[in-house]
A = this chain, B = another copy of it.
């Protein structure tokens, strides 16, 4: 139990991020408008004179703009340093890479953890509920602000893949290539169910304070840790968990006959929960999971997913992992079917990995080769 008592996460609120205030407003699907929202982002590499080497990377639910540079809170390497960096498939020697924190996030973009620009109090749950399309809208406004026109590619995994697909639907001519990895074009009932468990865990924590924990000087670390633990199971495969932990005990020869973390898998999950709360805002977790649950790209186009991609001039690569039960290959296949039906150029690559959904974040040479080959082919194409 004591393992989940959150350590003070003093750094989260005090870290400074590179951030700009957009010069335009961002209208939201829910009907509200974000007045000149702040967007925190990182760039890597240099924009070519013809502007043709820009790649926009979208992060996942708990990701951020630190795709290829050390995380300012945890000090860990960028979350996709295996894919983005000098000599990597997204090659910062060759490409100009942009990665922005989504709106609703907690790493410097407009969201519940920032102070409301007028009241000076934290937005908290007065922040409007945003959608994946809203997140894309804010990032397109950022591109305009930065003077970046047509992109070489957009790319993302998990929720990042959803943003990539949404971007392709809303801006059919703005990216030459779209790479969507371990993702879905809509959240399933099971996906929603797991997110709802996480939200209820957060909101059940009295330190959530009806959402106003920042103003109260508290943080719902226990609820957020439980939410992370539940979600983390869905990121791994049953076989991967068995291979990595099995039923092995943690630092003992026999069970304690108590409620300590006897098993390695328990200890691992508790650690995932504990470390997560140091770098993430509980309200952002609510907002971003909600955006994902609302995501149904086909539904926005009269129930026909193919219609979302009519007129797209991009080349699409969908990548799935055979052990990913969160966003399984069947969903990627459905997306490719819609793309082909819409007349788009689309490929599906199913990679074999025992590590489940999280595979896209791990050392996967085959994934790197697929991204590298697809980007180079796009660069060569007329």
Chain A interface residues toward B at CB < 8 A: 1, 4, 29-31, 125, 128-129, 186-190, 192-194, 196-197, 199-201, 203-206, 210, 222-223, 225-226, 229-230, 233, 236, 238, 241-242, 244-247, 255, 257-259, 261-263, 265-266, 269-270, 273, 286, 290, 293-294, 296, 299, 325
Inter-subunit contact B269/A197 (CB<8 Å) = yes
19 A-B interface contacts by CB (under 8 A): A1-B210, A4-B200, A4-B203, A29-B257, A188-B247, A189-B242, A189-B246, A190-B238, A192-B263, A193-B233, A196-B229, A197-B226, A197-B230, A199-B259, A200-B226, A203-B259, A247-B296, A259-B290, A262-B293
The answer to whether B257 and A203 have CB atoms under 8 Å apart is: no
Considering the complex of A and B, which 6 residue pairs feature the smallest CB-CB distances, nearest first?
Answer: A30-B257, A204-B222, A189-B241, A129-B257, A189-B265, A189-B245
Query: A190 contacts which chain B residues (CB < 8 A)?
Result: 233, 236, 238, 241-242
Q: Could you tell me the distance in whole angstroms from the C-beta of A268 to the nearest C-beta in chain B?
A: 8
Write out the residue numbers on chain B whose beta carbons fall within 8 Å of the beta carbon of A196. 229, 261, 263, 265-266, 269-270
Chain A residues touching B, majority SS: helix
How many angstroms between the C-alpha atoms of A203 and B192 in the bound complex? 24
Q: Does the CB pair B259–A194 fall under 8 Å?
A: no
User: Do residues A247 and B201 form an inter-chain contact, with CB atoms below 8 A?
Assistant: no
Q: Interface centre among A197, A265, A273, by most B CB within 10 Å?
A: A197
**Given the complex, which residues of B lie within 8 Å of A229, measured CB to CB?**
193, 196-197, 200
Closest B residue, CB atoms, query A228? B197
Query: What are the residues of chain B within 8 A of A265 when measuring CB–CB?
Result: 189, 192-193, 196
Residues of B within 8 A of A188 (CB): 238, 241-242, 247
Closest to A244 in B: B189
Contacts of A225 in B (CB 8 A): 200, 204
Contacts of A186 in B (CB 8 A): 247
Query: Which chain B residue has the least Cβ–Cβ distance from A28?
Result: B257
A286 touches B269 (CB 8 A): no
In Å, the complex CA distance between A133 and B287 comes to: 45
Question: Within the assembled complex, what's the spacing in Å between the Cα atoms of A153 and B172?
Answer: 66
**Closest beta carbon of chain B to A131's beta carbon, Å:** 8
Q: Which residues of B contact A31 (CB under 8 A)?
A: 257
A205 to B220, CA, bound (A): 11
A204 cross-chain contacts in B, Cβ below 8 A: 1, 4, 201, 205, 222-223, 225-226
